[in-house]
Amino acid sequence: MSFWVINLITSLLSFVIAGVSGIFLVPFLHKIKFGQPIKTVDGPKWHAKKQGTPTMGGFMFIISTVVTAIAGYWIYRWKTGVDTTDKESFHPFYIMLGCIIFSAAFGIIGFIDDYTKVARKNNDGLTPWQKIALQLVVSVGFLAVIHFFGDGSTSIDLGFWKSPSLGIFYYILMLPVIIYLTNAVNLTDGVDGLCGSVTFVAMLIFTVCCTIVKQDEMTCFTMALAGGCLGFLLWNLNPAKCFMGDTGSMFLGAAVTGVGLILHKHLLLLLVALVYIIEALSVVIQVSYFKYTKKKYGEGKRIFKMTPIHHHFEMSGFSEYKIVITFSLCGIIFGVLGIITLLTL
């Protein structure tokens, strides 16, 4: 059984588990009234009709990814005849497991946020500072795992330029990168099917990149998550029968960021995550410009009709399907550019 056959089976199994689990999870979430509170001030007014749609559907791909990624890895070891008496041969597994735990821990933070929203019957979950504090703790642990079991490099690799070793400052610099990117993925979850589709593309791109840089073991995780996202989309494409919630988007954010940092190709991470980065940047630009114009002219002005930027396109007449397709195509283009940087720089 070839390595790619194992990966395809892993991805297919994850797709089936995620898709089938929705048959049981969605009615259960309805039963316990875990519906998503909707604030029309944070999105178009017509999103009000989505009020009460079950949230925390991210459990579909979280469960499928964790189960199939670990199973796929051990099948990979068994079929490739890795020397299990060599302790260092387990390091790739520890790295992958560290990425899974890192993603799951962010998913737990998202779950706490979702549960708080549902319990309060409004859209106010954890405070921003509570989220950041929890995310920092988890991020420090993840960076420690990377350093201890695999990547000890502390330089920034942009392909065309590589910085000198930064020592401890590298990890200090990576902390805000993790916080920004994970929350950027969270912001991308604002249109039915958008975050799942863009992340499906990102995981396929990362699979190719992991193969190029000889980190085959990580593809068990990327392919499992790609399959899980696809299974979840059966329930999340417009009109969504279930939302992933912060439970799912935080998991996806940590997964994207974690794989990128494990590969230690920062330009690649920038390109693969560029759709998410632009989403979050649009919010920063909008808020900054509004505050600046309000202070200078006494009245706040906006650059975009609404942010994150997918809402700008929605307010401009784009259907949710068109936004998903457009953003996913952009993800493919940026991802292919990332692959090219690995092959040429």
For position 145, what pLDDT does the model report?
93
In three state form, how does the secondary structure of 105-161 look?
A: HHHHHHHHHHHHHHHHCCCCCCCHHHHHHHHHHHHHHHHHHHHHHCCCCCCCECCCC
Maximum Cα–Cα distance across the chain = 70
Find the mean pLDDT for residues 48-67: 91
pLDDT at 258: 97
C-alpha–C-alpha distance, residues 284 and 54, integer Å? 29
Task: Calculate the average pLDDT of the chain.
Answer: 92
- Mean pLDDT calculated for residue range 197-223: 96
Rounded Cα–Cα distance for residues 287 and 227 (Å): 36
Continuous H helices in the chain? 3-31, 59-80, 91-120, 128-149, 168-188, 194-212, 216-236, 245-263, 266-272, 274-297, 309-315, 320-344
Q: What is the pLDDT of residue 119?
A: 75
pLDDT given for residue 1 in this prediction: 60
Tokens representing residue 70 in the block: 């670990």
Could you tell me the pLDDT band of residue 89, with boundaries at 50, 70 and 90? confident
pLDDT at residue 109 is higher than 70: yes
Buried b (16+ CB within 10 A) or exposed e, 161-197: eeeeeeeeebbeebeebbbbbbbbbbbbbbbbbbbbb
d(CA 218, CA 102): 14
Of residues 145, 106, 10, 25, the one with CA closest to residue 65: 10
- CA atoms of 263 and 341, how far apart (whole Å): 13
Q: Is 122 annotated as a binding residue?
A: no
b/e per residue 216-227 (b: at least 16 CB within 10 A): bbbbbbbbbbbb
Question: What residues form DSSP beta bridges with 54?
Answer: 35
- pLDDT tier, 79 (very low <50, low <70, confident <90, very high otherwise): confident
**What pLDDT score was predicted for residue 46?**
60
pLDDT of residue 151 exceeding 90, the answer is: no
The reply to whether 192 sits in an annotated binding site is: no
What is the predicted pLDDT for the residue at 122?
Answer: 64
22-46 per-position pLDDT tens digit: 999 999 998 887 876 666 555 676 6
Vertex 288 angle, CA 194 and 50, to 5°: 30
Q: How many separate domains does the chain show?
A: 1
Residue type, 322: K
Domain limits at 211? Answer: 3-344
User: Would you state the pLDDT for residue 343?
Assistant: 94
| 277-291 pLDDT, tens digit each | 999 999 999 999 999
Mean per-residue pLDDT for 93-115? Answer: 95
- pTM greater than 0.85: yes
15 pLDDT exceeds 60? yes
241 vs 238: CA distance, rounded Å: 8
Please give the share of the chain, as a percent, with pLDDT higher than 70.
Answer: 94
pLDDT in tens, 271-322: 999 999 999 999 999 999 999 999 999 999 999 999 999 999 999 999 999 9
Chain segment 249-258, per-residue pLDDT in tens: 999 999 999 9
Is 165 a residue whose pLDDT tops 70? yes
Is the pLDDT score of 174 beyond 90? yes
- For residues 61-66, average pLDDT: 98
Is 153 a residue whose pLDDT tops 70? yes
